[in-house]
């Protein structure tokens, strides 16, 4: 989780939550596309009525809530903009160095 890209890490948390809910036969609604904080919270809330399921999967549920909290953080758009700028700089740098080498 710590070394994965943000998108991959959040998708992995969603996958683990879905897998845990499936093991417990909880009524989960799968959705494709971007993972949202609301989606993660709704998956976690599926466990609230089953103490045994909650206890069995507490680690995954904590990850899900932590990821949802991170996705809701007000600084996230700023970090996204910084990462986009970093990617742009790397692309410009790579294309510039390839022109020099030719």
Q: What is the residue range of 50's domain?
A: 1-74
> Helix (H, G, I), strand (E, B), or coil: what is residue 90?
helix
Reported pTM: 0.71
Give the whole-angstrom CA distance, residue 91 versus residue 67: 29
Q: Is 22 inside any structural domain?
A: yes
Neighbouring CB atoms inside 10 A of 76's CB total 13
**More confident site: 66 or 92:** 66
What total of structural domains would you count in the chain? 1
Written as six digits, the tokens of 26 are 């909880």
Give the whole-angstrom CA distance, residue 85 versus residue 42: 33
Is the pLDDT score of 24 beyond 70?
yes
Determine the pLDDT at residue 14. 93
Q: Is 84 inside any structural domain?
A: no
Give the whole-angstrom CA distance, residue 64 versus residue 23: 16
29-64 per-position pLDDT tens digit: 877 778 888 999 999 999 998 899 989 999 999 999
């Amino acid at each position: 989780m710590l070394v994965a890209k943000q998108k991959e890490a959040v998708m992995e948390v969603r996958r683990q939550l879905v897998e845990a809910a499936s093991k417990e036969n909880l009524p989960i609604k799968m959705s494709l596309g971007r993972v949202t904080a609301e989606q993660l919270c709704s998956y976690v809330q599926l466990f609230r009525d089953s103490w045994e399921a909650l206890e069995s999967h507490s680690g995954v549920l904590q990850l899900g809530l932590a990821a949802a909290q991170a996705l809701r953080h007000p600084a996230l758009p700023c970090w996204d903009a910084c990462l986009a700028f970093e990617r742009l700089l790397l692309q410009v740098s790579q294309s510039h160095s390839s022109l020099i080498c030719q």
